[in-house]
Amino acid sequence: MPSLSRLLPVALLALCLSPAAAPASSTQESVFEDDFHLLQNGSADQVKTLNDLDALGTDVIRSLVLWNQVAPGFKKKRKPANFDGRNPAAYDPNVWDRYDDLVRGATARGMAVLFSPTSPIPAWASECGGSLRNRRNCKPKATEFGKFVEVLGIRYSGAYADENQGGGVLPRVNRWSIWNEPNQPGWLTPQYEVRSGRRVATAAHRYRALVKSAVAGLRRSGHQAGADQDQVLLGETAPIGRTSGTLARRPIPPVEFIRELFCLKRNGRRQSGAAARAVGCTRPGRLAVNGFAHHPYTRGGSQPPRASVLPGEITISTASRLKKLLSQGARAGRVRAGLQLHYTEFGFQTNPPDRLFGVSLEQQADYVNESDWIAYRDKRIASVAQYKLIDEPDQSSFQTGLRFLDGTPKPAYDAYRLPIWVSRRGSGLRVYGQVRPADNDAAELVEIQNRPEGASSFSAVQTVDVRSPRGHFTADIPATGGEFRLRWVPSNRSPVLFSRVAKVGRR
């Protein structure tokens, strides 16, 4: 047990307030995604989930808008006669209602919505032949996709009145990201093809056409990337790929995918000559976006945040690879310089219930907060993400929820709501934290507490005056052993909240 003389200076610090250190990314937002409970499980569950996400401090709700769910005749190989793809009324009103309710509910609670229009696609919108299964994500027609995105923009322009719901004007959505994981065959095929004896990353070049068409559709509907207009994100890329398997269904590693998307050689310079002509890179132009979205999982959420990865992969600890590619793309004129990075899907599988790939419940909570700390220190990262509030019934699927299937909170629930990460800094310690549920720019007091080794209770170490836009803070404290936690008494008189119990981790 530490001596009394070592503990006294620490205890005395509790008598004074300490302002939070200058944040590295003070405006970093929290993105959450759980389409099953927000869109697919009925209105009562949607309301319950929205309330839960609001209490957790969610800033942005990301939702996939599946093209074939709202498009008419999606199983037909020919587009329905007289179908106007640019008319919102030509799509399925029953499916629209779910998205309308989500936008209304999120807006009423002060949360933004990020829509990601994506596959599966209508069979008639595919340039591929074969079965309906083969067509569901194979070579989508860029022109038709642009019309679909234009319809989304019209419906959520802030001026569209839905006659099926009494004519009320729907709130505006001003956040968009194009497609979901285009470097994975579950969302876009073929990934690769062989043309004239040359292996071509078809998905990357098809995706470039889809983005251009989608951006044009948004512009026609009154949405455009800009600081005072809309957020339009490129990418939504998955973090890993493969180097073997059938070419059409071999996931393209994100480094290669982004390089091909920007029509670049391995050295970062522009493609030219026959190689450029073969993939439509003679005049690729600049993509009119103002951010890049990525899913920085480490091995499907089964490894620690700092786990080593293959050279072509991009995870939470290897964001430098993505920034390098974006800088090369900017120099080549493919995107504007200095694009912000948005993590829009992320999480860690837990055991239980995933006994094959899951990490322990305590590790999930620890990894969530370590990832927050990694992202917070990078000013280029504009948002962090959590995928799934509640685990999925199929145990072979995502078990990254903050709650078990029966709704019971995991330790990561508290970790997400009130993050804490303690690391060594010189001869002392640095504590990173966030009061996620606090109102933006609110003045809050957070108490850092310590329980020395062998002790049974926590005592105050330092009280932090938190005044950053999204509730982030750092504080330097003397080195001491044992465990740490945060205690927050909300200024709005809500119940007292505690963080998880943390030990000193990696810097």
DSSP state string for 232-300: EEEEEE-S---SSS-GGG-PPPHHHHHHHHTTB-TTSSBP-HHHHHHTT-SS------SEEEE---STT
CB count within 10 Å of CB 439 equals 14
- Name, in order, each residue with C-beta under 8 angstroms of 475's C-beta and a sequence gap of 6 or more: 18, 20, 21, 430, 431, 433, 448, 462, 464
CA-based angle 395:400:405, to the nearest 5?
Answer: 55
pLDDT in tens, 35-81: 999 999 999 999 999 999 999 999 999 999 999 999 999 999 999 99
Q: What is the mean pLDDT of each run of 10 residues along the chain (507 residues)?
A: 37 45 74 97 97 98 97 94 92 91 98 98 96 95 98 96 77 97 98 91 97 97 86 98 94 98 96 88 94 96 95 97 98 97 98 96 98 96 98 94 98 98 96 96 96 96 95 96 96 94 89
- What domains can you pick out in the chain, each with its CATH number? 27-418 (3.20.20.80)
For residue 27, what are the CA distances in angstroms to 225, 345, 371, 375, 469? 19, 18, 16, 12, 6
**Residue partners of 272: CB distance under 8 A and separation at least 6:** none
pLDDT at 226: 79
What gap in Å lies between CA 32 and CA 14, rounded to an integer? 35
Sequence-separated (6 or more) residues with CB below 8 Å from residue 444: 435, 438, 466, 467, 471, 488, 490, 491
| Distance separating alpha carbons of residues 304 and 371, to the nearest angstrom | 9
